[in-house]
Amino acid sequence: MQESFVRYLEHYGQEDTPSLLYTIARNTFFDHVRRQKRSALIENDQRESYIDQDRVLMAREEYRRVLLALQKLEEDERDILSLILSSDLSYREIATIAGISEANVKVKVHRARLKLRKMLEGDENE
């Protein structure tokens, strides 16, 4: 209300137009609401960008940890595991490529996954 009277007196002085005072009050209120919406949108955008940045950083850190753990595996385990995870090849096809039996591929994949899990769990506990 105070802002409405100040605007009215600054622009129109002592004129006797109460409807104009009502219009000024209404427009002042709408200006106030628009400013609040804008500031709320800006605050929400900032919060969301912080959350997105945190997610990206966490994903990068997890990716780095997995890559470091993969490097610690033996070369044949790493190769077979990467073929399983990154291609649509069957165990039989991978066995043919690696020159070993299908059962051996399954055993190597299983053991490699266990080693990775232990390494990653060990990093979390440290």
Q: What's the number of domains the chain is made of?
A: 2
> Is 68 within the bounds of a domain?
no
Question: Among 55, 116, 17, which residue's Cα sits nearest to residue 124?
Answer: 116
How many other CB atoms are found less than 10 A from the CB of residue 112?
21
Whether residue 57 sits in one domain with residue 1: yes
Average pLDDT, stretch 82-106?
88
Over the range 24-34, which residues count as b (16 or more CB within 10 Å of their CB) and which as e? bbeebeeeeee
Average pLDDT, stretch 105-114?
92
Following CA atoms 76, 74, 80, 100 in sequence, which dihedral angle do they give, to the nearest 10 degrees? 40
Residue 52: which domain range? Answer: 1-61
pLDDT tens digits, 18-57 = 667 677 777 777 787 777 777 776 666 666 666 777 788 8
Average pLDDT, stretch 84-94?
86
Question: Is the confidence at residue 68, as pLDDT, over 80?
Answer: yes
Whether residue 34 sits in one domain with residue 83: no
Average pLDDT, stretch 58-69?
88
5-9, 28-32, 91-95, 119-123: segment of lowest average pLDDT:
5-9
Tell me which DSSP letter residue 87 carries.
Answer: S
Residue 94's contacts (CB-CB under 8 Å, 6 or more residues apart) are: 80, 83, 84, 105
Question: Is the confidence at residue 126, as pLDDT, over 70?
Answer: no
